[in-house]
Amino acid sequence: MSILDSNYLINYYFEEITKIPHGSYHEERISNYLVEFAKKHHLKYEQDVMYNVIIFKDASKGYEDHEPVIMQGHMDMVCEKNKDCDYDFDNDPLDLYVENHYLHARGTTLGADDGCGVCYMLALLSDENLQHPPLECIFTVQEEVGLCGAFGLDVSSLKGKRMIGLDSETEGETCTSSSGGNDLMITKQIEFVENDSPVYVLDIKGLLGGHSGECINKSRGNANKIAARILYHLLKDGIDIRLVNIHGGLKNNVIPRECQVIFASNVNYGIISNHIITYALDIKNELSISDPNLKVTLKKGEAKHCINSIDSEAIINVMYLVPNGKLDESQTIPGLTTLSLNMGIVRTHDNNVTIDISIRSPLESARNELCLQIEQISFLYDSYIEVSNPYPGWDYDPHSQLREAFKEYYFKSTGNILKEVATHGGLETGVWADKIPGIDIITFGPNMSGIHTPDETLDLDSYQRCYDILYGFIETL
């Protein structure tokens, strides 16, 4: 049974793709779905070894001499779920429901980022009534884990120099520039020893989280950093801590909402609990606006082995000392973050603890300097870093003809002025600008909220309005 009105192509395709698991690194099935779609509609297509897909549609009659238009979106979604949600992202369809004209998925992310862009392209490609120039539609993989699909895509078959990026989350806005970034992994080798002390389980829950590019300037709590702060203060107050396991965050580009730390200590439960209550009250007060539902709990656990005291203290110190969040903002664009980092994932793996961090800045020099600072902190505690997945920023083009044309069309069709924005998020637009010299890019998309979290929603009215605007604009190109 359909949740959405499937008479509208964009709704039909959205429900179709939510039946197909398509988390990052697991896009093969949705990629093959796109290939079958192209075959069904007799459209030329390319599929590469990464499972990126390009689908081409010849110009409609009368548009043969018009310049091609590239449209682009990514097919992978962030796979986050609530801890109590029994859901398998590798096999289960999303459980959709509508509430007050907003689309949700029960207990999980929705994948509107960037399912909306994928469905817009599928609807345009399958609509026989659309009057349009040649269309070149790019569907990339692994965007959410470092823009990998865009980096790996061979663009030599593309003829267009105009692009509409469909990875956008706010109606009435078009993005004009984006941040570059890279990943940084801290690794600390550890030694386990036998444990005969009481064991405790510290849980940090109830944080709002969010996208580490779009939400990093909102001062939201980071569960990994909160856990580190509590553990550091326990050590500072003379309480011995020997870590057993750390499990914090799910993605390095998502502000972590939960962190669990299991540790051993010779101090009894009542004393440790009283200390944690005191620390938690301070943290809750600091985050009372951004994260009013923060919960810090302690319970008893069990463990036969634990990490030795020296390594445990080193891990806690590194987590405590490495900075996190917004570090700098633009001197020319008010409110635009220009340097940040997110301590997204902390894990215990056999004989290592790893700390996975996403760093963002349009300035390569600022990113490099921050990596050096983190390297020095790590070195002090016998840890090492690896820097990977660098991606370029997208510079503002003051002479964009496509943006001016879209601004004019948007005003004529809606009576509203299109807002130009810059983002601290990393976008594939930076890769396309680097790969296709001279390309003119705009972005556009419907209202959605809570992306990268189980609270993700899609405004269905906005979803339809934006498609109608996109449809009409393409007919003018």
User: How many Cβ atoms from other residues are within 10 Å of residue 153's Cβ?
Assistant: 24
Q: How far, in Å, CA of 199 to CA of 262, rounded? A: 7
313 carries an active-site annotation:
no
Measured distance CA(264)–CA(192) in Å, rounded: 12
Q: What are phi and psi of 16, to 5 degrees?
A: -60, -45
- Which residue out of 143, 169, 356, 456 is catalytically annotated? 143
- Distance, CA of 351 to chain centre: 29
CA atoms of 154 and 369, how far apart (whole Å)? 32
Q: Where are the alpha helices (DSSP H) in 303-352?
A: 309-321
List Cα–Cα distances, 475 to 60, 297, 472, in angstroms: 10, 57, 5
Pair type for strands 173-177 and 419-422 = parallel
Residues 291/255, Cβ–Cβ less than 8 Å: no
Q: Which two tokens stand for residue 263?
A: 């540790």
CB neighbours of residue 387 within 10 Å: 16
Q: Would you say 447 and 169 are in contact if contact means Cβ atoms under 8 Å apart? A: yes
The span from the CA of 435 to the CA of 288, in Å, is 45
Measuring CA to CA, how many Å separate 170 from each of 65, 103, 174, 282, 423?
33, 15, 8, 35, 12
Q: Is 76 one of the catalytic residues?
A: yes
Cα(452)–Cα(455) distance, rounded to whole angstroms? 8
Host H or E run for residue 273: helix 269-286
Cβ neighbors of 263 (< 8 A, separation 6 or more) are 199, 200, 202, 231, 241, 242, 243, 244, 306, 312
| Beta carbons of 142 and 470 less than 8 angstroms apart | no
Q: Tell me the sheet residues that pair with 285.
A: none
C-alpha 50: how far from chain center:
20
Question: Cβ contacts of residue 458 below 8 Å, gap of 6+?
Answer: 102, 103, 110, 112, 116, 446, 447, 448
Is the peptide bond preceding residue 114 cis, with omega within 30 degrees of 0?
Answer: yes
| Residues annotated as part of the active site | 76, 143
